[in-house]
Amino acid sequence: MAGRQRHRLLLENAEQLVQVCGRREPYLRRSGAASLGVLRAASLVVGLDGCIKAVGQADVIRNQFSEATFERIIDCSGKCVLPGLVDAHTHPVWAGDRVHEFAMKLAGASYMEIHQAGGGIHFTVEHTRKATEDELFTSFQHRLERMLRAGSTLVECKSGYGLNLETELKMLRVIERAKKSMDIGISSTYCGAHAVPKGKTATEATDDIINNHLPKLKELKLSGEIHVNNIDVFCEKGVFDLESTRRILQAGKDTGLQINFHGDELHPVKSAEV
């Protein structure tokens, strides 16, 4: 019996409750994904700390928590309860749009042709640099709310539409604000090597990131202003080559960041060797 404890939530009488791993496996892969752990006619209890306290058959949970109280009870009859989705690669902080580029794509232009013509990433960089932090936060907040409604409970969020230190920090401050104010998990990624800034070579951009951007991120982390989890580089033909990518990722790793990068997205450049 759970006694007279108070809990946050009871999801009751679900037609299906998907556990993913039904035999205490740490994860599933390959053929294991074909046999998800699914309970029928099941209930789930969430504690005041936001953690799941119990999962099981509805009648068992009902007896176990017969004297408990709940802030909210949801009747899940006829419904399926799923674990939250993890969106592991997003660029959700930006201004402007690229609707006009659809005509270029329909005419046969490739991603890199649009990029080299000043579109793509560079177009968004121009508009993101002009936007205020509050404008970026408002649009970012709306995007996260839509993700949450669609079932994502943990989102990896990149910067990368600044390419200069000032705007990259502006984007990371926006992500930090969302971490503290929104009910969704966020893993933040510094992506200052998303493209080579106009007027610089890849080598110059790499040196700027290593000598200026990353030391500033370390300083802001130590002061508690911004906490970044990962570092990302666009390792691609015409963007950052293998050597530049290796240098940036190593410098980020030395700063305490986890490695998370774009590789072989458009051309095979053997980025896995990094």
Residues 232, 124 share a domain: yes
Tell me, what CATH number does 147's domain have? 3.20.20.140
Tell me, what CATH number does 48's domain have? 2.30.40.10
Residues 72, 102 share a domain: no
Residues 203, 269 share a domain: yes
Residues 140, 32 share a domain: no
Q: For every residue of 103-144, which 3-state class applies, written as one string? A: HHHHCCCCHHHHHHCCCCHHHHHHHHHHCCHHHHHHHHHHHH
pLDDT in tens, 67-102: 999 999 999 999 999 999 999 999 999 999 888 888
Q: State the total domains in the chain.
A: 2
pLDDT in tens, 186-232: 999 999 999 999 999 999 999 999 999 999 999 999 999 999 999 99
The answer to whether residue 1 is domain-embedded is no
- Tokens 């610089």 correspond to 200
pLDDT in tens, 151-170: 999 999 999 999 999 999 99
Residues 100, 70 share a domain: no
The whole domain housing 14 covers 6-83
